Amino acid sequence: MNKVTSTYNIRRYDHTNDRSLRPHSAADEYLLRGLCDQNQSQKKIAIYNDRFGYLSCHLNTRNPTVIITSKGQQCAIERNHKSNSLPIPQFVDPLSSIDPQIETAIIKAPKSLALLELFIQQVIHNSSKELIIIIAFMTRHFSPKLIELSLKYFESADQSIAIKKARLVTLTKKKQAPKLNLIDSITYKEHNYKQYWGVFSSKHIDYATQFLIENLEINLEDKNILDLASGNGVLAKEISLQLPQANIHLIDDSFLAVESAKLNLKGDNIHHHHANNLADIEENSLDLIVSNPPFHLEYELSINPALHLFIECFRCLKATGNFQLVANKHLNYLTHLKQIFRKVEITAENEKFIIYKCSKQITNLPNEGVY
């Protein structure tokens, strides 16, 4: 891998329509360059946080192990490999064992330092003594905590000069480090929720989610329910306490979120789906959908992925069903929801959050809160 200039056509394969968003950054380019400089061309590598496959395509001849954290990431990498006529790389999730022969790991730093630590824990406890980790980040995202964290696991953390506003940290001389339990615990309404490091809202149940739980309208007749973008499953859990017999589906794009929800909800009527869409759900089958939908991925903000999910919600709701979602007020979902659903009500709001209840059909005469 001598040339860093791209010979591959890499696309994002997500729902953003913002043309300024690119499928890779200067930090990804710097990782490739850093790998060359380390003169490690023969060594087995692991790749972390490669969102769309820029790194895995460029390093395909090295037969890399690619650690996958989300369904969207896996689909994009597969599509980019196929469209560039490259073999699909070997995927591993971040909780499984990886090849002990791995001697180099390259990590595009995730926003969550807890997730970075989970990555380091995986690779450090599976790999050879000579392990080198190269972490890349855009300088505007740098936090000294990244170095602090690195020095917990390695004697040396060397920072590079900045190129195109990106920087590398190379970690060498692995220390002996204990294997940590990578699960946080949150107590909410007398229940204990568990979640893997790096899953959304690690210190407390998100305040928007709490607002939705406090204002949720549940019909005791509801039989088929979906918690969309379910995170640790707190919304589904709260519903299951009121409707223990209902069939509850939980969908999340993040592997660690789905594995967390599995720790919090179990049962024959609970269905966990690791997916970034509603393809698993039958048309006209749901009585209720609840969601605190995503509006950012790492450092990027966009409501487009959520709007695509809303269209799928319309398809999956029964004619009598409804979709209740909470959002930050500034996102202004109302105009978009009105284009998808026949009836959209605001059921609660405070200074920060707003709850919409959307139905396929107009069942009542419109009143003041109906748009």
Q: Which residues bind ligand SAM (CB under 6 A)?
A: 200-201, 206, 209, 229-232, 234-235, 251-254, 257, 276, 292, 294, 305, 309
Q: Give the span between the Cα atoms of 341 and 322, in whole angstroms.
A: 10
Q: Smaller CB distance to ligand SAM: residue 106 or 251?
A: 251
Least spacing, CB of residue 257 vs ligand SAM, in Å? 4
Burial class, 292, CB count within 10 angstroms (exposed 0-12 / middle 13-18 / buried 19+): buried
CB-wise, 104 or 210, nearer to ligand SAM? 210
Beta strands in the chain (DSSP E): 45-48, 65-67, 90-92, 104-108, 132-138, 154-159, 166-174, 183-188, 191-196, 224-228, 247-252, 270-274, 286-291, 296-297, 300-301, 317-328, 343-349, 353-359
User: Closest CB to ligand SAM among 60 and 195?
Assistant: 195
Instruction: Classify residue 364 by burial, with Cβ atoms within 10 Å: 0-12, 13-18, 19+.
Output: exposed
Question: What minimum distance in Å lies between the beta carbon of 339 and ligand SAM?
Answer: 19
Phi, psi of 3 (to 5 degrees): -95, 135
Residue 214 contacts residue 236 (beta carbons within 8 Å): no
CB of 74 to ligand SAM, least distance (A): 12
In this complex, which beta carbon is closest to ligand SAM, that of residue 131 or of residue 216? Answer: 216
Q: Which is nearer to ligand SAM, 149 or 234 (CB)?
A: 234
Q: How far is the CB of 108 from ligand SAM (least distance, A)?
A: 17
Q: Whole-number minimum distance, CB 326 to ligand SAM, in Å?
A: 8
Residue nearest to ligand SAM according to CB distances in the complex: 231
Q: Between 173 and 352, whose beta carbon lies closer to ligand SAM?
A: 352
In the bound complex, what is the minimum distance in angstroms from residue 361's beta carbon to ligand SAM?
Answer: 25
DSSP per-residue letters across 148-167: HHHHHHEEEEEEPPPBTTEE
